[in-house]
Copies of this chain bind each other. A is one copy, B any other.
Amino acid sequence: DEPEIPEQLSAALNSLSPSDALRELLSLSPQARLDALLALSPALAANLLAQAPNETAVEIVGHLEPDRAAEILALLQSDVQADLIGELGTSGAEAILSELEFESASEIRRLSAYDGDTAGGLMMAEVFRFREADTVGKVLRDIASADDDFERYRGQHPYITDDNGHLKGVASLRGLLTAKRSATLQSIMTVPISVSVDTRLDELEDLFDAHPFLGLPAVDDFGVLVGVVARSAVAEAVLERAETQSLKRQGLVGDELRSMPLWLRSRRRLAWLSANIVLNIIAASVISAYEATLAAVIALAVFLPMVSDMSGCSGNQAVAVTMRELSLGLVRPIDAFRVWLKEISVGVINGIALGLLIGLVAWLWKGIPALGLVIGLALALNTMLAVSIGGVVPLLLKRIGQDPAVASGPLLTTVTDMAGFFFVLSFATVMMPWLVK
């Protein structure tokens, strides 16, 4: 990377689309990235931070001087601010918050206390807010004013509260346009669809599917209007969840990007791999118990990895279908038996098909008919077992409160490895007279 003069860099990044600029920024070394951010205008830096994956943004903010971080943070929307502050360590967060105005600092503190996958964690605190006694004319004047704040409301409807902040109504565009300017909001408002700060992401997704609003008002336990959940924030959270789930299946907990420090990436991946190695050793102990059989029919060793790998693939297909149906809300943990019935039907068909195929291969390759029978039968049974486990295990894990995305894969693979080795080697032990020519 050639050294660049900050102004040139700033101009270069300015000329790129946000996603291109972000890619360039992330491809720099951590130090160069910091230097670049310092050279940028706070507005551009804020824009890039808002675009960046959360983990990267947190890392960058954590490395900035608190006053600079606060300057950039002040330009972000409250929901993004709260996400960043919530993921910084306490001391880092407080150093930055102390540089902000008292009011916005306490707002960020309040927002960052909510769980990220609830309305409270997703909402922004900026609300286009009026009183019942305000007139239509006041709303229209506010909309028409050149005030920048209007932009921050991102197309919210005007929400109406009583003097204690309780959400009372919402004014529709149609209501505003057809009423006299002197009419009070109380006379034209309708009862809004609102959510609680504790409303979960799934439910928010359903609500936005059902209603064409850009945002929904969020109230606390007392009915006080505390924020607005934007449609875009919900869509982003849903996407993020799908991605995180897909990464977790590979043991990548805490979304990894290659711009993160080497040791962090290495350590996180190793944590899962080391647990996996223990499971592998458990599975391998089955082979170890049958070394005598293996020594007698060495060709079995050729097919051991094949049987366990093929069953693992079949089982992972079942896991993937269940995970998708879970995320679409089409199955619940209590549907486990129904899912199993659906899976075992596929398992019987595919088990027989794959068993015949590999049995034929084993027979023709090694010239021993009984070897074909042993391998084919083992794969057929293990496929049925694998799809049964794969279809149902995510539901059982979910029922006992575990994350199915993390544990399903390793659990499945360990059981299908052990069972696959066991089927092949125990069948071979029984069939020994026909296997040894």
Q: Which residues of A contact B (CB under 8 A)?
A: 17-19, 22-23, 26-27, 51, 53, 140, 143-144, 150-151, 154-155, 173-174, 176-178, 206, 208-210, 212-214, 231-232, 235, 238-239, 242-243, 245-247, 249-252, 255-259, 262-263, 265-266, 269-270, 272-274, 276-277, 280-281, 283-284, 287-288, 291, 294-295, 298-299, 301-306, 308-310, 313-314, 316-317, 319-321, 323-325, 327-332, 335, 338-339, 342-343, 345-346, 349-350, 353-354, 357-358, 361, 365, 413, 417, 421
Contact = CB atoms under 8 A, between A and B. Distances in A.
A27 B310 CA distance: 29
Give chain A's interface secondary structure class.
helix
Given A239-B242, A291-B298, A258 B325 contact: yes
Contact of A328 (B53, B140, B174, B350): B53
Nearest to A421: B305
A214 to B, nearest CB: 6
Given A143-B177, A295-B295, A18 B206 contact: yes
A23 B305 contact: no
Contact of A18 (B209, B304, B313, B350): B209
Contact of A287 (B208, B249, B301): B301
A184 to B, nearest CB: 18
Nearest to A23: B330
7 contacts: A23-B329, A140-B177, A143-B173, A214-B214, A235-B235, A273-B310, A280-B305
Top 7 closest A-B pairs, CB basis? A235-B235, A154-B212, A250-B320, A246-B246, A301-B301, A144-B178, A258-B342
A309 B232 contact: no
B281 A305 contact: no
Contacts of A174: 143-144, 150
A301 B294 contact: yes
A413 B306 CA distance: 12
A165 B144 CA distance: 29
A232 B230 CA distance: 12
Contacts of A284: 302-303, 305-306
B329 A19 contact: yes
